[in-house]
Amino acid sequence: MSSYRFCLERGGRDGPRAGRLVMPHGEIPTPAFMPCASRAVVRACAPDDLASVGVETMVCNTHHLRLRPGADVVASLGGLHAFMAWSGPLATDSGGYQAFSLAGPGAVSEDGVKLRSPVDGSLVFLSPEESVRAQEALGADVAVALDLCSPYPVTHDQAREHVQQTLRWAERCRAAHRREDQWLWGVVQGSVHADLREFSARETAALGFTGFGVGGLSVGESRGEMLAALEVAVAHLPPEAPRWVMGVGTPRDLVECVLRGADLCDCVLPTRMARHGSVLGRDGALKIGNAEYRTDPRPLDDECDCPACRLYSRAYLHHLFRLEEAAGWRLLSLHNLRYYARLIERIRGAVAEGTLQDLLAELPAWTRRDLEGAEE
């Protein structure tokens, strides 16, 4: 594992920090944001598009890829990096979120979870060992132990059962993992219950993981509840280990999480927003499908250097969006991804300068509902 290390350069257990994740496919300065390439593609964008707007790494979905095209198919083609023609670092999640979002009543057992296939609707089984086997075949730099995410709201007793199940699965994942050229990280659960978040963090760290996901956030709880749960988890994880806040966030969420010690965040939001015509800019979220942009000659943002802003008017992008033209989704997605990349650059600078609270004050109080909504 000598090719894998986290170099913490500023900060410690609590508060904002900066470092570098060193992996065989490159180094990532932290804090960092990972767009979701669930099926080995960030929706509407080719991998070479992503590098051009500053994307440094991505996260792919184990459950979706083991169903189509199949983890073994990807392995036979050289693994995810060769399959995607992506030379930078990659992560895979475990399929644990799908245990939350796709599993029906009674689907979870000690052995694993029965999931509904998004390909053909059939029931498929995912065990901790199969999750690890699939992630090893996919060959990403960072793999994740199978976890069980609690819904919201959830009782304390139910959340405790989910934490204990996650810990038992984590032990099995550790035992099954064989690849020395791949990191395996554990996942902290516990919903909004502080004592369970503390217990989960301590016990997951005790299993010997050297990196951690903080899961089960942004699933319906308030922002205050989410951030309080994150604070507790971070306070009981080893300060020398990287921390990935999973499935979070809005631009404001990114800053809030980094303020509390996050090193990585991932979310589908930038490209999902684009497909709904919601475009990020310094003055707020612009809904490009609105009639007011039909004849607007201005760029989306005259300070942005993405292809959409350099080459095209709001009027043209409005036209593409109204046509439901794939080129429009691509350009709007690249713009939002570039916004996130520029925001991460500003976050890193603010961590170095100690001005992260000032940056937070500059951002609108966007919620996911604000950003994901379709045009008016």
Catalytic residues: 93, 266
282 vs 66: CA distance, rounded Å: 39
* 36 DSSP 8-state letter: B
Distance separating alpha carbons of residues 60 and 66, to the nearest angstrom: 11
Closest listed residue to residue 352, CA positions, set 11, 13, 56: 11
Stated length of the chain: 376
What is the rounded end-to-end Cα distance, in angstroms, of the chain? 51
| Alpha carbons 351 and 358: distance in angstroms, whole number | 11
Contact present, 214 and 247 (Cβ < 8 Å): no
What's 300's DSSP letter? S
What is the per-residue burial (b if ≥16 Cβ within 10 Å, else e) of 251-272? bbbbbbbbbbbbbbbbbbbbbb
119 close to 67: Cβ distance less than 8 angstroms: yes
Question: How far apart, in whole angstroms, are the C-alpha atoms of residue 130 and residue 107?
Answer: 16
Nearest in space to 227 (alpha carbons), one of 360, 362, 33: 360
Angle of the 223-235 helix axis to the 251-259 helix axis, nearest 10: 30
Q: Return the bridge partners of 244, or none.
A: 213, 264
3-state DSSP of 194-219: HHHHHHHHHHHHHCCCCCEEECCCCC
- Tokens for 317? 């992008």
Distances in Å between the alpha carbon of 358 and those of 223, 281, 341, 354? Answer: 19, 18, 19, 9
| Residue 128 and residue 169 in contact, taking contact as beta carbons nearer than 8 Å | yes
Residues 273 and 282: beta-carbon distance below 8 Å? no
Residue that the structure tokens 């922002």 belong to = 223
